[in-house]
Amino acid sequence: MNNLFGDSMTEVEKKIEELRANLKYHSNKYYNDDAPEIEDYEYDMMMRQLKELEEKYPEYDAVDSPTKKVGGKADNSFESVVHNVRMGSLQDAFSEDEIRDFDKRVADMVNERHYVVEPKIDGLSVSLEYRNGVFVRGSTRGDGDVGEDVSGNLRVIRNVPLKLNEPVPFIEVRGEVYMPKKSFDRVVDRQLINDEKPFKNPRNAAAGSLRQKDSSVTAGRGLDIFIFNIQQIEGKTITSHKQSLDYLKKLGFNTVPFYKRVDDIESALEEIERIGEARGTLEFDIDGAVIKVDEFSNREILGSTAKYPRWAVAFKYPPEEKQTKLIDIEIAVGRTGVLTPTAVLESVHLAGTTVSRATLHNQDFINEKGIAVGDIVTVRKAGDIIPEVLCVNKHNSDGVYTFPTRCPSCNEKVIRENGEAAVRCINPECPAQLLRNLIHFCSRDAMDIEGLGPAIIETFVDKGLIKNTYDIYNLDYGKIATLDGFKETSANNIKKSVEKSKANDLSKLIFALGIRHIGAKAGKLLSDHFKTIDKIMSASVEEILEIDGYGQIMAESVVSYFKSCSARELIEKLRASGVNMNSISEVKDERFSGMTFVLTGTLPTLKRSEASEIIESFGGKTSSSVSKKTTYVLAGEEAGSKLDKANALGIEIIDEETFMGMIK
């Protein structure tokens, strides 16, 4: 390796520490937060550079270097599982020459050798354990030695067999939980509707879904699994990897697809190429192909290093890049009001599919790259999934593209808030945002209209029964009763819920409007302070800042929202429909005046929102974080770290029974 840092060893040491810090940060974002910030290829290249530096300058080696560790760690929200057989990672290779070097190392230690080639599934590695053919436990890889018990969530994955076709005394297998591309698209669509941050890719979606505390959430995410290894087995002798995969299939496992045994490394390379050509057509993501020595006896001879087995290697497909012409830039309005630019490209074949569109992220990204219509650009698939523009190769236009100043959907002026990259339409009646706004408006913490869930709202929008928010209060219940799946009774139930919502406190309406930065608690503070919607609409930023709990951004967001003609029109139409516009909350007495409660965990009978309402009705406040100003911590089951902080600060912790005694 060339010394890029001159002769100064302190510069080398500085570079090594910089690489280690970056790798540890990005490893944590990838494995533990399920929120990667860089592409796998960039991470792999940093890891390779660090490894080369450590080999050249062994005096700077360290036992905790990322080159010696598996990326993840056990999550303390689940029970820990110690792996009897280590769940390690594989040495990566990025070229055919590196694969041939692997073959030479194997040939130096064993005579006759055969390999099994299989796709490297891009998901979350797990262990499944069975006794007498019955599933007993499942766990994540974690750091390779200790993972977390996710048995309940693994049980609801469709291809995890709960009982095997044979009563094997004991078997532990290793597999990869993944999210099929269709499931990923469906989950992301739902996240956007609910104004949630969408998963970046299927791998992180799978990891986030498997670590849910509620198994019903996992069940609804459409996860699947491929099994690719026997970790340990009793009552059966198996001598090769190919034999083990065939046996796993016989037991009823969904084994890794199109695995193949070959007799030499050149045949293995041909199989890697074949898998690579097919990856764009698969319904699941792969990030490479794996070559494994087939015979277990040869594996024992080859052994392992501290981190990798010497009998296997993972070939990582490089991100494919192509040049093409940017024909146009289209602006779409998302369900949260964000304007998203998309590059329209001259079609190009990339990573197994034809690409004609690519994300441009936002105006800052366009400015940074200097992108304009007519440019020749380089594109690639980020994570082999989402096409993106990497750079401009040739400028064919006069200037950089600039976002429109008005929403292409409703023609209202768009805004860009301080500190945000996104340009946003805040018109509550913008057609592009309609579905998301309606779902939020009817949700439990907002107007709480029972019977108008996401699926029914979508149906009503599709049928033209709802074209804007105030149409909720002018529904044609006769037409509803004639729809498939609806009857007069269900239509009447919806009508009762709609009518009931008109009497809600003003605070619920404010939250239902979906004002940026204004949650349910902030809506309550606004309602309690000003008492009427008219006073809120006429309030200045300075007047709103008088509310304890409001900051500059929140106050400006409220004023900006009600300056909009469409927002004021919506309020007037809701008022005409009979929706309450006044605060009706009452303080029963001031027994909790000056007190701040923090709610944590699951209470036996009360919801947190109900407990908060009770506290506020007695003059108290609630907070989301424990501090010296906290009076009580009201704790239920699985209370978590807030209890530790409360104990450290000497704050009194109470349960629901004590709390109910305080309000008698």
| Catalytic residue set | 120
Strand-strand pairing, 376-382 and 621-623 = unpaired
- Burial class of residue 24, CB neighbours in 10 A (0-12, 13-18, 19+): middle
User: How far is it between the farthest Cα atoms of the chain?
Assistant: 87
Q: How far is CA 3 from CA 17, 47, 497, in A?
A: 16, 17, 72
Instruction: Find how far residue 469's CA is from the centre of its chain.
Output: 29
Radius of gyration of the chain (CA): 29
3-class DSSP assignment, residue 273: helix
| Residue ranges in 57-163 assigned as alpha helix (H) | 96-107, 151-155
d(CA 251, CA 224): 17
- 366, amino acid identity: I
Terminal CA-CA length for the chain: 76
| Side-chain-facing half-sphere of 537: CA atoms under 13 Å | 18
3-class DSSP assignment, residue 424: strand
The residue ranges of DSSP E strands in 28-169, in sequence order, are 80-82, 92-93, 115-121, 124-131, 134-140, 146-148
| Side-chain-facing half-sphere of 246: CA atoms under 13 Å | 10
Strand partners, 139: 127, 149
Q: How many other C-beta atoms are found inside a 10 Å radius of the C-beta of residue 123? A: 26
Query: Is residue 329 within 8 Å of residue 342, measured between CB atoms?
Result: yes
- DSSP conformation letters of 319-348: PPEEEEEEEEEEEEE-TTSBEEEEEEEEEE
The closest of 48, 196, 77, 70 to 124, measured between CA atoms, is 70
The closest of 74, 477, 102, 461 to 264, measured between CA atoms, is 102
d(CA 96, CA 115): 15
Helix axes 181-193, 434-442, angle to 10 degrees: 70
d(CA 364, CA 637): 45
Instruction: Find how far residue 223's CA is from the centre of its chain.
Output: 14
Tokens of 12: 């080398």
Q: Which residue has the tokens 């012409």?
A: 325
d(CA 238, CA 373): 60
What is the dihedral angle through the alpha carbons of 8, 12, 13, 18, rounded to the nearest 10 degrees?
Answer: 140
d(CA 471, CA 479): 14
d(CA 243, CA 245): 6
d(CA 466, CA 283): 36
Strand partners, 90: none
Helix axes 202-210, 181-193, angle to 10 degrees: 70
- DSSP conformation letters of 155-169: HTSTTS-SB-SS--S
Tokens of 141: 């890889």
